[in-house]
Amino acid sequence: MRHAPITSLKIPIAVPCLSIKEMEYVQDCIKSSWISSKGKYVTDFEEKFAKYVGGKHGVAVSNGTVALHLALATLGIGRGDEIIIPTFTMIAVANAVHYTGAKPILVDSESRTWNIDPQRIEEKITKRTKGIIAVHLYGHPADMDPILRIAKDHGLYLIEDAAEAHGAEYKGRKVGALGDVGCFSFYANKIITTGEGGMLVTSNEEIAERARKLRDQAYNMNMRKWLIHDEIGYNYRMTNIQAAIGLAQLEKIDAFIKTHRENAQLYNSLLRGIPGMTLPPEETWSKNVYWMYTILVDKNKFGISRDELMCELEKYGVETRSVFHPIHLQPPYRNKFKGYKYPIAEDLSKRGVNLPSGNTLTKEHVEYVVDAIESIKGKKDKRWIG
């Protein structure tokens, strides 16, 4: 493979793929004047997305973070409760627990999938534990069978954070409908997007109805008393315009996933021979949708650190992102977890980098990124020999 030149070419980390269909549905909203949180696209999107992931009910919300918060609030999580979460995840997971007044209890990752380590969950369970949030990180499912068993044995709720894993599969079943509630994000860089937006998916009708009530300021269903609110709710609604975009995106989700997986396979084939590169996992029981194509950089074998590689790739016009900073090291939480050690999460956070991974990424883009990596390593090797 040729070495890439430093160029003005720009390859972004992820760009949404929008087309005529999204425009048609949005124009229909505008023509009908149904542009707020009421309208056919909201209910259509909820029903079709829930069916796609294998759930019975969908509750559309304004973003992925409030999906997590609403799920916890719907399940009655509150002050004094504890929720077990991975430390290696996006800070929104811990924040959502904090919003309820509950306490996040952190668990380290396991090295195979980088997700929460099921073998370390039970040791964190106390009489205050009310639930577990399993995050399907970067598109790879968590190992759900042991987590489901632990939740059942201890009478705990199991919430799936599938914000990064639309269409990912665990033993042939799509994630997000395996626990009590699944939470999704439709931010602009996700596999399907509504710009901002999220969704709760559940097969429990009572949970779905409760979530719908809390989502909409807890309005009274009795129309004579509908402006009397008997509890505190939230304004977490999704607009009909957002849902229209989401419905059009959902029609293309299989094509988007195919693009992500094909690009990941190409990345794998081209990067496999480069020393110091750990490629993203895909367990035999899983279907990874590779929301982000994530590698780990070994400085001793590759020659430079993760951060140095990111800086060098920027010179080639290649946008990258470091992986998540563990919760226990985040400024709002580090004092609460002072003295705790989560070695696998800490190692992942130091060495992990997301390469360009969006729906618009092409074969030529992937080849260019790998050429740039080879060029950077080649220059380092020459300096080392010299």
Which one, of 185, 220, 224, 8, lies nearest residue 89 by Cα? 185
Give the C-alpha distances (Å, rounded to integers) separating 227 from 117, 230, 310, 372: 46, 9, 54, 60
Q: How many Å apart are CA 50 and CA 15, to the nearest integer? A: 25
Report, as residue numbers or ranges, the catalytic residues. 190
Sheet holding 82-86, edge to edge: 57-61, 198-202, 181-185, 157-161, 129-135, 82-86, 103-107
Q: How many Å apart are CA 143 and CA 116, to the nearest integer? A: 8
Tell me how crowded residue 229 is: count the other CB atoms within 10 A of its CB: 13
Q: How many Å apart are CA 244 and CA 166, to the nearest integer? A: 18
Q: Is 330 exposed, middle or buried (0-12, 13-18, 19+ CB in 10 A)?
A: middle
Helix axes of 253-271 and 240-250: crossing angle, nearest 10 degrees: 60
195 Rama sector, left if φ>0, alpha if ψ -120 to 50, beta otherwise = left
